[in-house]
Structure 1
Amino acid sequence: MARRRKPKLFNCEILNGPFNKEEQEEYDRKVCKALATALHRSLEPEEFDSLIENLRQAL
């Protein structure tokens, strides 16, 4: 029986954080886009649609 590999966890440290409101908004957009891309690639279409619907209801 083959052993499953444990997924790697990456650590991240932000060196130059946002200094003003505009930089913070741009940073937030980039983070949201990266998260959305990761979710879209990892979930089945039905799961992704369900997640979106649950988030809409939560708002």
Structure 2
Amino acid sequence: MQAIPVVLLLVYLFGAWKFWRGFRNTNFMQNRLGLTVFWPILLVSRSYRTNFRKALKG
């Protein structure tokens, strides 16, 4: 049970890092930090999901 928070933190950090590195491949022009920090919440938006996938591929 103690491993679950650690795994969730690692997934969060990995997603944030990948989005940060691939940000230039998205349609977003500003607020890189905010979009990176709140990426799990913003995945609700179809537009954000599309750009998130672009960032992960880049």
Structure with greater Cα Rg: 1
Structure 1 length-normalised TM: 0.44
Structure 2 length-normalised TM: 0.45
